[in-house]
Chain A
Amino acid sequence: MTARDALVVTTPPLKSGRTPPEGMVERRGAGYWMTHLGLIIGLFFIFFPIWLAFVASTVTQPEIVRPPMPLLPGDQFFENYRKALVSGINAPVALMMLNSLFMALGIAFGKIVISLLSAFAIVYFRFPGRRLFFWLIFLTLMLPVEVRIVPTFEVVAGFGMLNSYSGLIFPLIASATATFLFRQFFMTVPDELAEAARVDGAGPMRFFWDILLPMSRTNIAALFVILFIYGWNQYLWPLLITTDPSMNTIVMGIKQMFPSGDDLADWPVIMATSILAMIPPVVVVISMQKLFIRGLVDSEK
């Protein structure tokens, strides 16, 4: 340890609710810059693939197929993105994005609505079969859709829901994570509120609508962020049940854009599509960062 690494004693300004990252153990000089350097190397590793995809989406095909490809954006941005959005390869990417949007919103809204209702019933009522119901939904936490794809596919096909939004949405909302989250939250709501509502003659639905729902706003929003990304990024399920290119979602549609056999892929259009596929979830995560992190930590614990 060198003299420049010596401890610098500072008084940390106290912020409420969280240990401030600043404190006595702080390094100045070489150590400080090494920290930044280390983080920047990490950022480079994280962002290089994204940057390269962006560059590829702004150049011409010949520039890519004669490696090495350029590392700075070209002038074909509008041309490539227009081509992808309007005509795509199997289906216009704008249409695939719309399908993804419907799917993601359907999953997020659907799961939140049914989970709010059933969590309310579990927490605020005593009814026959309540325990059984609780354990039944607990079981669903254990089985991701990937494990039961073949029989679920048969059910969806039996209902004639292949190539439909309902086929994309319903099997993915059959899981109880959200129900647990809301149950957990409802348990922390003071009993006095329900008591007061009852004394004032408000029925259970009135209590749910006027008191419980407004109190759950932040939780609902946090969960919405998580579920939107979950829905948008689905791959295996849409791959199985959307055989019609006009029902493809953008995330699964990218792979379909590669030619079979030895033909050369249309890289600029494929990379433009990849960029388009990541924009909505990235925007949601970045703009709602606080809610997102909170939702993430809550839904996993």
Chain B
Amino acid sequence: MEKRVTFKGIWLPLLLVLPQMFITAVFFFYPAGQAVWQSLFIPDPFGLSMQFVGLGNFEYLLTNSYYRASFVTTAIFSVLVTLVSMGVALYLAVLADRLIKGSGVYRTLLIWPYAIAPAVAGVLWLFMFNTRVGIVTWYLGTLGYDWNHVLNGGEAMGLVVVASAWGRISYNFLFFLAGLQAIPRSVIEAAAIDGAHFWTRFRTIVWPLLSPTTFFLLVVNVVYAFFETFGVIHTITSGGPQQSTTILVYKVYSDGFVGQDLGSSAAQSVILLLIVGALTIIQFKFIERRVHY
């Protein structure tokens, strides 16, 4: 798409794009290039020089059991976060869509968590499940269940999944509700007149017509689980116990800043870069076309 009417001049537009170009070059392209460059080297034991190892860092990572475990952890984590938050959001959106009056009130209340930072969400859930003072922990204790996410990897994973999904419900709810309200009433009414009950209508009409929204949200939520949940993990578990909640982004941080292993951290950044790239392409190409209208 191009404008028919344009202004003349070469220096003015260059001047106009200069601020963005400068900031993007300095704080984006240079660091991204550095990440790719550093991923090809390892520092010597004294940190004085860098030795070129080609794809050695990648080779090492892909055969490293901790890194592979982190991959699996990330996959489980993002699938669970996506399913839980989208499931709850869809359930609430379908209910809100059925209301004649008052769906606005519920919407206003349900968008709160969107504004709450993942790190703050992490602190709230940590407080409820804290091993010493947590109220849920205490109630579970009275039921005879000994909750301890500090020692139990499965419970730690459950907690970070719920805290991450909780913060995402509002976002998914808004998109699902918008998607539901865009479905023509006449189609649903026609089905209802033909005797289709709620569940039949949902399965055969609403769900297929909602698929563009669902696909879009799937990709966006996976991206969220991959990259924006660092705050939740860092506040609740710091990747533990025994790395059971160390997702890939957390590992870039812990290897790069805590472990000071720059080559490996850079190689991990490059792998993440490829994953985001793939997801972005899926989002732009695949979803635009494959949708069911």
Contacts and interface: CB of A to CB of B under 8 A. Distances in A.
Interface in B201-229: 201, 216, 220, 227-228
A161 B247 CA distance: 29
A25 B188 contact: yes
Given A235-B117, A235-B119, A146 B133 contact: no
Contacts of B52: none
B123 A284 contact: no
B293 interface: no
Nearest to A257: B123
B124 A50 contact: yes
Contact of A118 (B19, B30, B121, B184): B19
B2 to A, nearest CB: 9
Interface string B171-213: 1001100100111110011001100010001000000000000
A4 interface: no
Given A39-B92, A194-B7, A251 B166 contact: no
A137 B121 CA distance: 32
Contacts of B62: none
A53 B256 CA distance: 33
Contact of A151 (B12, B34, B235): B34
A254 B120 contact: yes
B88 interface: yes
B185 A19 contact: yes
Contacts of A53: 123-124, 127
A24 B185 contact: yes
B276 A154 contact: no
Contact of B35 (A141, A150, A252, A300): A150
Contacts of B138: 67-68
A140 B227 CA distance: 15
Interface in B251-265: 252-253, 256-257, 262, 265
Nearest to A286: B108
Given A118-B16, A150-B265, A124 B6 contact: yes
A198 B10 CA distance: 17
Interface residues of A, number: 114
A203 to B, nearest CB: 8
Given A117-B17, A300-B220, A254 B235 contact: yes
B69 interface: no
Given A56-B127, A118-B16, A252 B119 contact: yes
Contact of B117 (A48, A144, A149, A278): A278
Contact of A141 (B127, B216, B256, B280): B280
B91 A38 contact: yes
A67 B129 CA distance: 12
Contacts of A154: 31, 34
B197 to A, nearest CB: 6
B135 A69 contact: yes
Contact of B166 (A23, A49, A144): A49
Contacts of B143: none
Contacts of A75: none
B53 interface: no
A146 B108 contact: no
A281 B5 contact: no
A153 to B, nearest CB: 8
A9 B5 CA distance: 52
Contacts of A267: 127, 133
B110 to A, nearest CB: 6
Contact of B16 (A52, A121, A264): A121
A24 B23 contact: no
Given A21-B97, A65-B132, A204-B9, A148 B31 contact: yes
B249 to A, nearest CB: 5
Interface string A62-89: 0011011100000000000000000000
Interface in A261-290: 264, 267, 270-271, 274, 277-278, 281-282, 284-286, 289
Given A174-B27, A233-B117, A23 B189 contact: yes
B111 interface: yes
A152 to B, nearest CB: 4
Given A23-B188, A125-B7, A194-B5, A286 B252 contact: no
Contacts of B184: 19
Given A52-B128, A293-B174, A293-B178, 16 more contacts: A22-B100, A23-B185, A25-B192, A114-B23, A117-B17, A120-B16, A124-B3, A147-B227, A151-B34, A174-B26, A187-B3, A194-B5, A204-B12, A233-B119, A251-B117, A255-B235
For the complex of A and B, list the 5 residue pairs with the smallest distance between their C-beta atoms, beginning with the closest. A233-B117, A151-B34, A151-B31, A125-B13, A281-B115
10 contacts: A21-B97, A23-B185, A23-B189, A25-B185, A68-B138, A148-B35, A187-B3, A274-B120, A278-B116, A282-B115
Interface of B: 1, 3-7, 9-10, 12-14, 16-17, 19-21, 23-24, 26-32, 34-35, 38, 88, 91-92, 95-100, 102-103, 106-121, 123-125, 127-128, 132-135, 137-139, 166, 169-171, 174-175, 178, 181-185, 188-189, 192-193, 197, 201, 216, 220, 227-228, 230-231, 234-235, 249, 252-253, 256-257, 262, 265-266, 269, 272-273, 276-277, 280
